[in-house]
Structure 1
Amino acid sequence: MAKFLLTSTYTVEGLHGLRQDGGTRRTEVVRALIENAGGRMEALYFGFGQYDTYVVCDLPDLRTAAALAVTIRASGGLDTRISPLLAPEEVDDALGMQVAYQPPGA
């Protein structure tokens, strides 16, 4: 499984739904969505910054991540983005890879 961060901003329609359902109920809905896709939700937080929600989860693959993001955005209640997360060891592995690259103008 790969780890992902889903960040979302509520639309006006989505905020009305949040007021109606409450944060705990929305968290249950997101957890069920992720689990039904074969993943596991690690945490969901609400925020007051650039995004309204932050979800850290494990998903089977990029295809599943894309399907969730598209499904959530298409609902109209949230503008959602999904980012893969790398563990420090994965970064170390990537830094150890030899990659041939020619910079512009070189």
Structure 2
Amino acid sequence: MSKALIIETIKSNIEITGVEATRLAGEILGALRDELVREGRLGLPEIGSLTVRERAARSGFNPRTQEKIKIKAGVAFKFRPSVSMKTDAHASLKKAKRKAAKG
């Protein structure tokens, strides 16, 4: 989903100008980002939750040269879909498979 799609959805559903819809979309996305940064978790009803986790430094290797390298510590994001999202996605996938089998 792109910011442009969010803006277009806002414009068409509440009938405001493009400038106002852009500002509103920016405010919403900014609030979501701030919540994730501040709390380390963001729950979106009917969609799922996004959490931030710390990753420790570790060693790895370059697959081309087999040379050992150090991988810096950092953060990783984990998304966990809601039950309704899983159910809807599974139904959609089954429908697509049936349609492909017919065609």
TM-score range, shorter chain: under 0.3
Bigger Rg, which one = 2
Q: TM-score, structure 2 length as denominator?
A: 0.26
Q: Which has the higher helix share?
A: 2
| Higher RCO, Cα 8 Å, sep 6+ | 1
